A = this chain, B = another copy of it.
Amino acid sequence: MALEHAILVSLLEKPGSGYELARRFERSIGYFWTATHQQIYRVLKRMEDDGWVDARTVPQQGRPDKKEYSVADLGRAALSSWLHDPIEPESVRHDLAVKIRGAAFDDPVALIREVERHRQAHRDRLARYLAGEARDFAAPDSSAPDPAPPDAERELQHVVLRGGIAYERMMIDWLDDVLATLAGFGPDR
Residues of A within 8 A of B (CB): 2, 5-6, 8-9, 12-13, 30-34, 76, 79-80, 82-84, 86-87, 89-106, 108, 110-111, 114, 117-118, 121-122, 150, 152-153, 155-160, 162-163, 166-167, 169-170, 173-174, 177-178, 181, 184-185
Contacts and interface: CB of A to CB of B under 8 A. Distances in A.
Given A89-B118, A166-B170, A170-B166, A157 B97 contact: no
Given A152-B108, A170-B170, A83 B99 contact: yes
A100 B159 contact: yes
Copies per assembly = 2
A93 B87 CA distance: 13
A184 B166 contact: no
Nearest to A99: B83
